[in-house]
Structure 1
Amino acid sequence: MTRLPAWAVRLRTKRLDKGWSQKDMAKEIVEHADALGVRMPERNSLIRSIKGWEAGEHRPRHPYPMLYARVFGTDEEALFGDPLEPSYRSPAEVLAAVMPEHDLLGPESDAHGRRRIDMGTVTDLSGRVHGLRLADDVLGGDDLIGPAFRELDAAVRLYRENTHDETVGRALLGIIGEYAQIAGWIASDAGQEHQAVQSYRLGISAAREAGDHTLESNILGSLAYLVANTGDPREGAELALTSLDALKPWSPARARALAWDRVAWAHAREGNAQAAIRSLGESETALAGEYGQEPPSYLYWVNAGELQIMEARVFTELRRPLRAVPLLTKVLDRYDAAHARELSLYLSWLAVALIDANEPEEAARTARRMLDLCADIASDRMTQRVRIVLQRLNVYQDVPEVRAVLTGYPFTA
């Protein structure tokens, strides 16, 4: 499969970000065309054209670039510019753009009142940051963002305002990196994307200074995931490939598997199916290579089940529901319901895959379970997924089971 043109990726990504089907897209185009007095072809013909454009088979001609720009509230150049994409930036170029402009971890110039920090303090902080990760398993970002950033700030001040030997200093930097990763993850769940990016950048800087390649890769991968979802998928792919490059041959298998998963997801968001599927295979191979290695505590959640979920999400993003539905169904049947947000998020992907498979009744049942489960979860990420599912279900509003969901949960519409 050849690489999709940049404009084709943009058209598809922007439509999916709106939660629209290709039928919805045709409706939006027709409405804007009617307002301008532009005649449109028969609706099914327009839907076929939309499919062809998103597949990169041929470039839209006048008046469609103008109509697309109006539908998405942007200009034609932003959608259809630079058709010849440059190659990915090198990892060094990506890191140069990501690293903070100023040294955020340098010691305070005033040494008055400093105390000596030992490994006992590091051990205590390690337990606290892991406790924060476990809390994130059951609570939403809105509930945790305040405590998370207070903990991160306290760890940075502890490092900058006190003294320590080289070993303790390196360990403290690793703790700061771990705090920055989970704080960034929590901020992204709360919809605070700028705060998440700044936290990740601090964490990458701390991990690099500590010489912790595995931690650096983990934080870069988290940033890649955020950018692929909320920004430019191509930049997300560059960051994901950089996270992979940060690892060493002796890095833990779970770290390598997770890095490949992030690469697969970013490629799927780009619309690069071949690269995404190849990366999924690399992830599975990497995890199978774990022979008694002791992974860092922050990779506790990486296992075969989670990799299967990511695989299913990649196939859903690529609109291949026949691959996605069996995988998601198998894993979710045994998923821990105590992790309500994650289970709800994964159910949202199953609902979308079922919609793509033209199974509206089963999609409605899955959506109802998702909505009941996530009702009290304070997560912007979950709110966005709910909106997408309901918008996608709206195509089937004449189906009784779907109509019951759409009318039964008006507060989420």
Structure 2
Amino acid sequence: MAAERGLMGDDRRRQFGLYLAGLRRRTGKSQRQLAALLCALSGTTSITRNEVSRWERGGRVPDTWLPFLAAVLHVPEAQLQQAVSYARGDRLAQLPGATQTLAQLLPPGDPLEPRAARTGRRIGIDTVAGLAGRVHGLRLADDVLSGGDLIVPAFRELSAAVALHRDSTYSDDVGRALLVQIGELAQIAGWIASDAGRLEDAERAYQLGISAARQAGDGPLVANLAGSLAYHWSNSGREDEGVDLARAAVDEAGEDAPGKTRALFFDRVAWAHTKMGRTHAQAAMRALGEAHEALGDEDGPEAPQWAYWVSREELEVMDARVYTELHRPLRAVPLLTDVLGRYDATHARELALYRSWLAVALADANEPEQAATEALRVIELSGDLASDRTASRTRVVLERLREYDDVPEVHTVLAEHGHLRLAES
């Protein structure tokens, strides 16, 4: 029990840190600028950029600095005090920030509440439609929040949806629609779990979703879940299985699937082959070409809502990631530079991830000074995120820069942030 309480306290401090980082970013200040302003207001020199970083990582709680933080961040001191109380373990305290953002993105009401007890345990299509709204709300939340923020609500919703299917009665059509939503919810829950570093939970969610989607007879959704699991395997040491499953996902979807979905599935095939190494380079390049060809197919059926994010820009990012992994920086750098110049700044995790590939590509292109600049951007963005993916990519970038330790810009980055390379995943 003591260990469990300790973990809960660590989680609360990390969530407080994310909340504080969000307030800072909203004002447009860097960690260094915030530290300087706090020193100016308090008349001390004891607050450094590293101290702000500790607060935002959850290492410390800055309760003695609240009046100055409130003034600099333009929030009521009482709000910050409430957040500190939450970090300190007060059961009655609520944490603003991620919780509020999620509440804003999810539709009102809770269709997963056991309404069946009030309606004779029979549900209709309206309940499924409400669930669909919450599933898409989680997807939108994942655009701006990280796995550590969303893991609890995502799996709570998934468990409730499964219970709704198990404990209610419904028509065949409603039952199939409910299974589709369970499949979609399992997909986003699996993605969130992977981002939170909960790899076994991610795999279980994907497998549950595949089962639900197959029972519902939704081939593209089965393929989306299988492709997601293939991507998960490719990134966690099961590269052979990742290739096989990614290919099977394309076959499962079939040629009549919407173009956006086929583009996504081919991109996952490309990544699976890329993770196999240079011997699979040509297979990866072919799959990239097939993805772009599929995206250009506008004659097929309309894409499902879960494919809303698939676009030419996202395909170009995958192109660049593949080129980077295959050590073709002259192709990767222009693509990433162009896409990042147009990318939504609110999607901090994706910005951090994509800049991490740009940093590596620049190092491969023998441009260590530019690589160091990008590395700093990755670190700055990642410091605010409860994402295992960004933490892992930060380690990759710092490891790649070690070759250029004699370059002053790189040496400074490694001297100030080299500890992140050794941090546990």
Q: TM-score, normalised by structure 2?
A: 0.70
Whether 2:117 is the aligned partner of 1:126: answer no
Residue 270 of structure 2 is matched in structure 1 by 264
List aligned pairs for 1:92-241, cutoff 5 A.
115-241=121-247
Residue 338 of structure 2 is matched in structure 1 by 330
Residue 281 of structure 1 is matched in structure 2 by 289
- Structure with the bigger RCO (C-alpha within 8 Å, sep 6+) is 1
Residue 112 of structure 2 is matched in structure 1 by none
CA contact (8 A) 2:190 2:205 kept: yes
Aligned-pair distance for 1:371?
1.2
Whether 2:346 is the aligned partner of 1:307: answer no
Aligned-pair distance for 1:294?
2.2
1:362 match: secondary structure: helix
CA contact (8 A) 1:321 1:354 kept: yes
CA contact (8 A) 2:123 2:169 kept: yes
CA contact (8 A) 1:181 1:200 kept: yes
The letter for the 2-side match of 1:302 is: V
- Alignment match of 1:407 (pick from 385, 396, 415): 415
Aligned-pair distance for 1:283?
0.5
Aligned-pair distance for 1:293?
4.0
Residue 399 of structure 2 is matched in structure 1 by 391
The letter for the 1-side match of 2:399 is: Q
CA contact (8 A) 2:259 2:300 kept: no
What are structure 1's unaligned runs of at least 5 residues? 1-110
The letter for the 2-side match of 1:350 is: L
% same residue: 60
Structure 1 stretch 284-293 or stretch 229-238: which is displaced more? 284-293
Residue 80 of structure 2 is matched in structure 1 by none
CA contact (8 A) 1:114 1:161 kept: no
CA contact (8 A) 1:263 1:276 kept: yes
Aligned-pair distance for 1:163?
0.2
CA contact (8 A) 2:243 2:273 kept: yes
CA contact (8 A) 2:257 2:300 kept: no
2:343 match: secondary structure: coil
Residue 97 of structure 1 is matched in structure 2 by none
CA contact (8 A) 1:351 1:364 kept: yes
CA contact (8 A) 2:210 2:225 kept: yes
The letter for the 1-side match of 2:373 is: R
Aligned-pair distance for 1:231?
2.0
The letter for the 1-side match of 2:296 is: A
Alpha-carbon distance between aligned partners in 2 of 1:224 and 1:153, rounded to the nearest angstrom: 23
Aligned-pair distance for 1:114?
5.5
Moved >3 Å (runs of 4+): 111-114
2:227 match: secondary structure: helix
1:409 match: secondary structure: helix
Residue 348 of structure 1 is matched in structure 2 by 356
The letter for the 2-side match of 1:175 is: Q
The letter for the 1-side match of 2:413 is: V
CA contact (8 A) 1:360 1:402 kept: yes
Aligned-pair distance for 1:370?
1.3
- Alignment match of 2:306 (pick from 271, 281, 298): 298
What are structure 2's unaligned runs of at least 5 residues? 1-116
Number of residue-to-residue matches in the alignment: 303
Alpha-carbon distance between aligned partners in 2 of 1:115 and 1:232, rounded to the nearest angstrom: 43
Residue 375 of structure 1 is matched in structure 2 by 383
Distance 1:120 1:226, change over 3 A: same
The letter for the 2-side match of 1:403 is: H
Aligned-pair distance for 1:233?
1.0
Aligned-pair distance for 1:319?
1.1
Distance 1:166 1:348, change over 3 A: same
Residue 88 of structure 1 is matched in structure 2 by none
Give CA deviations for 1:371-405 in whole Å, capped at 9, x if unaligned. Answer: 11221100011101001101111111111111121
Aligned-pair distance for 1:195?
0.7
Distance 1:183 1:395, change over 3 A: same
CA contact (8 A) 2:223 2:250 kept: yes
The letter for the 2-side match of 1:219 is: L
Q: TM-score, normalised by structure 1?
A: 0.72
Whether 2:250 is the aligned partner of 1:244: answer yes
Aligned-pair distance for 1:295?
1.1
Alpha-carbon distance between aligned partners in 2 of 1:194 and 1:356, rounded to the nearest angstrom: 33
Give CA deviations for 1:278-332 in whole Å, capped at 9, x if unaligned. Answer: 1111101000112474211110000000000001101111111111111111111
CA contact (8 A) 2:359 2:372 kept: yes
